[in-house]
Amino acid sequence: MKKIEFKLVNPVRLIPVTGDSYVSVETNGSVTIQDPVKVEPREPRYRTLIDTGKAQLKLSAHGLYRKVVIRLRADEATRIDFQREMNTLFEA
């Protein structure tokens, strides 16, 4: 952590060099620049149960919800193709 103290006579512009920083400016003129703490990655909110390449069936972390993601190209995005992908996901 870096701590800089000076009187605010003129406006001050802080430009971060890399990444994110937390900056706090107090009325007495002290400025604190603190690099963010590394956050451990969270577990995914959904687990993938089935992945066909065009469609995915996911289950929430507690098993309460199912999520369906279907990606079809514009030339094959017909009702029949969509229904085929849905049937593939739920018959497996």
- Residue of 23, 25, 43, 41 whose CA lies nearest to 33: 23
Tokens of 8: 């605010």
Q: What is the pTM of this model?
A: 0.48
Q: What is the pLDDT of residues 35-48, one digit of tens each?
A: 666 667 777 788 89
Average pLDDT of the chain, as a whole number: 76
> In this predicted structure, what is the pLDDT of residue 6?
58
Average pLDDT over residues 19-24: 66
3-class SS string, the chain: CEEEECCCCCCCCCCCCCCCCEEEECCCCEEEEECCCCCCCCCCCEEEEEECCCEEEEEECCCCCEEEEECCCHHHCCHHHHHHHHHHHHHC
Question: Contact 55/67 with Cβ under 8 angstroms?
Answer: no
* Residue predicted with more confidence, 55 or 33: 55
